[in-house]
Each structure stands twice: as structure tokens, then as C-alpha cells.
Structure 1
């Protein structure tokens, strides 16, 4: 696993980060404060709900005796009067009805009155809605009927046509029925009828308008709230023939049975007046019956906030204020959550509540609930408390409030904390960072000078410029300058050693050769011939050593020139292997060159020389089978040349050092001298061609060595 490297700049910066613990502790304190504020808000909201509920305890007159006390609410039978924003114009167009399609109840054959048979081809249906404004109820009926039959204006009968029937239960439990039948499009009156549908005088307190539409007709009514009894029912009667009684009817309830009538729950203006006196800003109070229907509501969660975003600041008079307001504050709110001025309020226009906090209140207990808005912008806290009448839970008070106020206080505290700490930390960190950067920059400069002074083979290229600063890093640069100068002198000495040794060897070798030749011509005794043979062998060894060192020097001089040409590497490899097959016929050469183009830029003679060194080593270290394998393949953009044999393996400790000068692993008693320059020359030639050469033991199941050379393709 690679060791992680940490620079001095990074270490000093990491140490300076400990200063950030101070604002972090302040940040944590503010968050703890917010938790306590939320707990206090929860208790306050529960207290508000309890106070409102206490004001409504044991006041049965505030609640509808039938709509609020009933144990079960039936869909389509028990209706709710939605509050209207203003009076509704009676014109049959339904344009003044808010959200009519969402609030209207749909009635079809499933609401058929029992005394009528089911029509197989009936298209009669209607949508019905109830609104309330001040002391009036507004009723709307959008009827779908394929044949609208009007009342004959000369007929005394009002039930041999299409009509609406309203049945109410009076305070003395009597049943009253009213029929609304139109003679044409326009205003329509309601008539109280007896059990035989005989009409009496028109009911003047009720106003209505009948409008024929392409799908049927619309009917709008306005009637006083006090006129509606404890129970009420509506039914649409239909006939498809003139002067005939209706043969089909659907409605909210059977209008001839008083016990089958439904209810209309009207929000209580008395309760509304009470809770408005107790409500406060940015909160909402609900009073609902035990079925979750709204009786009164006061307040809103979203209030209009004045736009103070544009603030004129004199930059010269208050630069710090400009910095904190225009620069830092927007930066803070990349992390902080700003209370939204608008968010999705699901219950804003709702008139029914069904949630956990209401269920708790209907069980006779106080409850709270934290809830995230659907758009995830705000958190709403709800608190509830039951309303008791005669020991029975008749409804509940629900108080709602957002956490925007607490979040605003939290943000103001964090802004003040950050502004003060940022000023202190900025000055300290800036000085710290400048000091660390200065030290790191000087060390990096010294490192680059050292890396450029010596190449990968240890050759001295440049010197290190000593620093003029009188400190530890300056002293270090002076020391490196002196060290590089000494190494440069020693390197030049080593580079000239080969030529000097060669020069020194030539004279004694010449003397030895001439003396031995004269000795052979003048004396012919056997013992002298043995000495002569040994002397000649030594001369040959010295001559080989001299030639090897001269060859290394010539290669070093050649690779320093720019005399390069483009040639085909495959052609050079194949030709070199073919030549070795002729020269070493006792060795089996296996050459495999993949079909491709292998153009490289360099010197083909040097490549041949490198291959001769590699093949010579492969032959010398092969076993008795004498088998050498040479392969050339294309690997993406590189050319891979491999020379391998079957024989002696390399020791693991010397594989990285074999390419150095005068390093050899041959046995010292070998008859042929070896200076360990073969692989050194091979590496020089590979580097000249910008190739990478490596040597390792084979891993393909055979015992031996493989040399790999990777060339960059042109």
C-alpha cells in the first residue's frame, strides 16, 4: 500500500484548521439553542390549543345539533357548505363558484330513489355543491339530461315535468317539501307541496335561476340559512314526456322520509369570531367537528413579507456592513437554510382534516406533530386539544405554526458569530498560509533544481543555485550546491576511466605480444611453449577487456548524437536472428513476428548491437537444449520485443541491478572474460530509442529468463 504524502503546506494548513473548532463550538451551541426553542414552541402551541378549546367547552349552542352530533357521515348525503369569498350571482353559468369541479359531489344511478325502477338507458346525473356567504346558502345543480321537460305555464300541476325537490326537517320535527319547476330558462320559484304534490304559495325567501345547457340544465338557488331545517335532502326528478309524471329520480336522500334526510354543515360564525380574537401572526387555528370538517378557521401560515432586499449602503461609510450584507450573507446561506417566504401549504384551501394529531385529540388527549411540507421548504408544527360537551368529545382545536421564526433567530445568531470569528480567523489564517506557502515554495524550488541536476542514471546535468536567504533552507541549498559540484567531478572521472584504462592497457599488451612472438621463434622447448600459451591467453583476455570498454565508450558517444532515421524494427529483428542461426547452428532460434508494421525512429545498427548482446546472454545462459525464443508484437501504440531462453534463472536480489555498468552474475572461473557491460550497453541503446527494457524470470511454465523491450510506435 502506497504511503500517503503530505506536503509541508498541507500540514501547516491542517494545523491552522484547529482554529476552526472555535466557531464550530459556537455553531453547535446555536443548534442546541434551536432545539430548546423548538421545545418551547411546542409547549406554547399546545397551550394555545388548550386555551381555545377551553373557550369552546360546554357551549353546545355553538355547534349544529344534527350535523355535528351525528356519529357517522355519509358521502353524498351529509353535505358541507363551503365559505364563499362574496355573494354569488344567480345566472346558471356557475362561473362564480370557486373550484366547483373539485368541491362538487357527483350523483348518478347509484343514488337512485328506491321507489323508482332502474333505467337501463338512463343518462340522468348531476353535480351538486353548497356554498355559504354571510347568512345565505347557495346551491348549485349541474344536471345532465338528454331531454329537458319544462312545466306548462298554463298547468296548475308542477310535478309533470323535470323538477328539483327539497325536503327539510323543521325544528318541531315536521317534514316540509318544496318543488322547483321552471316554465323556461330564467328565474324559478319554489312551491311548498303536500303529500300529493299539490302546490301552495311560492316561497319568496328563495331565489333561483334555471339555465338550459347543451348537456341538460343548471340550477342555482339562494336561501337563508335559518330556512334550512335540522335535516335536508335534495332530489332531481326526470321525465322524458310532456304532461307525464317523472319515472326516474336521483338525489342526496329520499325526500319523502324525514328520517332519511341528510345534513348540511355550515361553518359557525360565532366560533369564527372567538378564534379570530385568540389568533396571532403566522399561525393558523382550526376548529373541526369529530368528523374532521371545518367549523371555523383563522390566520394563515404564510404572511406577506415586505421586500427589504434592496438596501442602500454607503460603501465609504460602512465597508464592513457592505461586506457582511452583500458578500458574506449570501455565502452563509449556501450552508444555512433560509426560511422560505412561500411554500406549499396543503391545507391552505382545505375544509377537511384527517391526520394523526386530530386522531389523538378525538381520543380525548392533547397531541403534537412535526410535518415537512411537500416541497421540503418548511416544517409545520401542529398541536391539538379536544373540545368537550357533556363529557363527550364533539370536536377539536388544531393550532399550526411554522418554525420560520426560530430559524430566523438561529440564522441571525450564526451570522453574528460567523462575522466576528471570520475576521479573527481570516487574519490569522492569511499570515499562516503566506508563511507556509513561502516555505513550501522554496523547498519545491530546491527539489526541482535537484531533480534537474541529476538524470535517472546518476549523470550530473546542472548545478544547484545557492539561495541568498540566510536561514536553514538557504544553508541547505549551499550544502547541495557543494555536494553536486563534488559529484560532478567524480562523475567526470568515472566517465573518463574507460578510455584511460584502455589507453593504459595498450602499451603493456603490445610489449607482451612482441616479446612472446620473439620467444616462440627463438626457442622450441615444450615447457617454454606452455608458458608461452598461458601468456598469449592472458594477452587475449586483456585485449577483450579493452575492446569491451572501448565498445561501451563508443555506444555512449553515439547515443549522444541526433543522427536518427526511420526504419522497420521487424526487418532488423528478423535479419539479426537469421544471422545468428548461421553463426550458431547448434542453437535453436524460434522467431515469431506478428504481421504488422513496426516503424521506429533511431539507429538500426544500434538495434542490431543491442540484439547481439541480448542473444549472446540468452545463448550463454541456456541449458543443454540451447533454445532461444525471439518475439515481436504490437501492443496498442507500443512494440513489444522479447528475448527469452530456457536455462538458469536470475537471483531475485540482482534483477534490478543487471543493467548497471560492470555488473555480472557469471562464474568467475569462466574461460572467457566478462566485464558486465552487455546489458549496460543494451539499456543505453534502448534509452536512445526511448524504449523501456526490463529483465525477469519467465512465468509461462518454463525455467529461464525473459528480456522485454517496449518501443514507442511512430
Structure 2
């Protein structure tokens, strides 16, 4: 990855800002809901205290039983399906665990339903003598007509006659029905119109079928009805946006009032973004499982059950009909330390959602701007830094020209690491330029300084040759002359190398046909290479821009090198071809292969593989020809390389020159 992309990737770490803003928003919404819960609990406590100051509006002290207002007259069949919502659950008494009962009123008539669990059936008629061990239910009623005891018993399902406690007749006509159930029996009875109930106690008589019986009596319950004053006055205590109910200890609704605030997520002007925000906030909130829809007359949610036991309870739930949360708080209403009713208040988190919406608009907007600003600044910084590094790279690549001269390196005035690097490069190139200049002038200085000592040595050897030397000294004189000639050739080669490098650097380039040039000079090599065979493989034309003289000079060096290593029966081939955007000029010859260790050094100066470092005419060979080939290739922007032929028959030298 480039530096700019790396810094851009690093700038993406600023995405943690929107994430942190979102987490802060979720936490803020949670704190707002916590504040709402505390406020609703305080409201519930205040309303519960107000209700406790008017105990006459509340159900009587326990034990008490609600007297339900029936929507229609039930069918007298000992079934409770036609009792509506008052059908259940039935009131139970700890003293009679197998008995459940309920009272209802329709058109000034009182209805009683009871379900009894009985595992030892011993059925009998209610008008039989009371001392018989049969299954029966005794209802001890305190009515407006005075005390009344109903003996409810039957041998078979259907209507039956109700008798008194001893099986005798009653002072008024009571209708009843009996029904067998899977675990016992059910009884339904109705009192005459105009009889009012003030209290009751139920006694379960359980015959064991063997002449014995057991009696279990409930506590004396007081019936009660919802107070009209409670339903009329208490709702004024509720603040706006709060819906409330007053429930008795059994969960039946005594009064209700108030209304929830409108669901902001369902308003017509709510956009998609706001709805998505609300849903995301709701998913992040910890809420209780949803409840089935509550009935208008009863509420059995867990917080109500906890409040009936005397504890304050609150829960958040998802509104099944909207995108919001509903908070319900149940507060016990105590009178003289006894729970007489339960106050249940509800409100939505509409206010917190609106506040969170406004906060999200500002917070997420600010974090987005911060992210864009940081990412933009990082991108600009990365662009500027990468541009400076590219300029430094381009300057380093152009620090040396084709001739090897060191150019002036631009120095940055910046005081950062990139500026320090440019100044270090500048100092390094200055030292390289000084050392290169010293090396360039070294050859000419040495050749100039060695001329005089060589002339002295040569003249001294000539004088010794004219003098009478012993025969055994003559070989040493010949060796001395060979050494002097080699040193003289070395001095001349160094002078020639300096001139060639200067000539290559000063050569002018022009447009010409490279194929035609190689064809013209190639025919002249046949006589030079004879008796060796010369092969030419050239295209019809190949436009090229460069120095024809330098190309011919490099080709001369390659042919001279091939002539020195190719046997007389061997072959030399000159090939020119176009490969992509390059021209490949190759000289192949049969003969010995190149040593692997010398492939990278062949084009260095003063490196030769010829035996005794002499050429075909026996002259001293200093290994400068292939170095000239390398200089010519570099002057044209190309490169020179050497390798063995794939079939192992010889070697190939190749110039790769760029085409215009």
C-alpha cells in the first residue's frame, strides 16, 4: 500500500467517533428512561397516598370478594362461558384449597358460581337430611332478607332444588344447576330479584362414600363493587401522558383513566431515519417480554402481582402497536398497613425518544463532521507527504545522468524527517561526486605521471641491450621489456578510456534506421571473421533514435570479443529484433561457455577471460571492450547482458535499447 492509502486507512480509525457517539446516545437514552421511571414511581406513590386518605373508595379489608356487573343474564347450566370476563379466575380461600367461587349481579339478581375439586364422589340431593354423608356446598349468606343458608347438592347434572342447611325448605325461591367436572363438580345458583348480599361464607362438605364426611369452611367475605366516586375523581390526580388503573387484590379493574402520549414514531411527519433511530434505540434497550393484550376488566401482569404482595415494581415493555417502549409501575395502596388496592400507572418513552432524536441529530452530525474533517486532514497530509517523498524519489533517480555525472540534488528546508533525509542525500551525493571526480581524473593523472618513469626505464633497458651482457642475463632483460610494454599499454588504455567516456557523453543523437546500419557494417565483418561463418538475421527496417557511431563502436567490440573466443570452424550470428518497446541487438558465437561467477562482472572495466590476457594477434588485452559496450547501452537508456546459449554451444551478448 502506498503511504497515502496507509494514512487514509489510519484515518478510518476515526470511525470510532460515530460508534462512541452512538454508545453515548444509547446510554443517555437509558438514563432518560431511568429518570422517567423514577418520576413515574414518585407519581404513583403520591397518587397512592391520596387514595389511601379516602379508604371508603377502596375495597374493604380482606377477606373480600368482588361483585361483578354482568353484561347479560347467564344461562343456568353450571357453566361460566356466558359470564364474560367475570368468568375467571375464581376467588379462592386458603382454608378451602379445592374451592373457587365468584359473585355477579345482573338486573338486581345475584348469581353465584363455584367449582369444587372432589376426588371421592358421594352425590345426593340437597333436600335429604343434613346428617347424610353426601357432597354438598353450603353458602352462608348475609342478605337484606336476613341470614340465609343454601344447601347445594344434586345426584345428577342439571337444575335441582335448593334446600336449607338441614334439607328443609327455604323462605325464598333459589334456582340452581349442577354439573359434573373432570375433577369434581360445578354449581351455579341465582337469588331472587331485590336480595342484596352483605357477606358470605362457603363450607365444602365432602362425603367419602363410606358414611363419613369432612367440612372445610372459608373465611367470611364481604362483597364489594367499584365505587362510582373513585372512577370519577381519581383520574384528576394523573399527570398528562399517563394512563392509570386502580385494581383490587384479585386483579380486577376498579377504575381507570388518563391517556398515553401519541406515538411519535407513528406520526405522519416521522421520516425513515427517525423510525430507524427509534428501532435501534429500542433494540439496544433491555426490556421485559411482551404481554398478551390486557382485558378491560382485569390485569395480571407480574408487576401487579408483586404490588399485591406489598412491593413496588416497574417494567419496560415494547409497545405491540408502535415503535416505542411502555413503562408500567405498580404501587400498593395501603390503609393501616394493609394492601387494599393496587395502583398501576403507564407511560411511554415518547419524551426520551424525542430528546434522543434531537441529541442524535446534533451528536451524530458533530461526530460525522469531526470524522470528515479528520479524514480530510489526514488525506491532505498524506497527499502532501507522499508528494514530498515522490519528489525526493525523483530527485534521487535523477541524481546521476547517463554519463555517471552527479547532478545537483535539491535540498528541503523542512525541519522534519523528510527534510533531514533530503539533506542527508545531498551530503552523500556531494561526497560521491567528489569521489567520482577524483576517480575520473585519476586515470589521466596516472597516465601523465607514468610517462616519464616509463621513458626512463625504456631508455635504460635500451642502453643495457647495447652493452655486453652475459647470456644468462638476456632473459631477464626480455622480461623487463615485456613488463614495460604492458605498463605502457595500460597507460595508453587509461587515456583512451577517459577519451571514450568523454566522447560517449558528448555524442549527439539522431533518427536513423538501425536495421540498415547493422546490415551495412555486418557485411564488413565477414572478411574479418573468416574462416568463421557469419549469419545475419535482421528486419527490413527498425526506426531508432541514437548515435550511429556509438552503436557501430559497441558492435565492433562485440564482434572483436566473439572473434577472440570462436574457433575457426565456428559460427558468429548477428540478430536484430523488436521486443515490445525495445530493440534487441544480439551477437552469438560458438565456443566456451561463460563461468557463472563472471556473468555480472564481464562488463566491468579491466576484466578479461582471455588466456594470458592477449588477443588473437598476441597483443596485451586489458578487458576494456565490453565496458565500452555497457557505456554505449547506458548512453541510449538501455542495458547490456550476457549469457550462455540454451543448447550449450556458446554464448550470446545482448544490447537492449529502448525504441522511441
**Which band: TM-score by shorter chain?**
0.3 to 0.5
Larger radius of gyration: 2
Give the TM-score normalised by structure 1: 0.41
Give the TM-score normalised by structure 2: 0.44
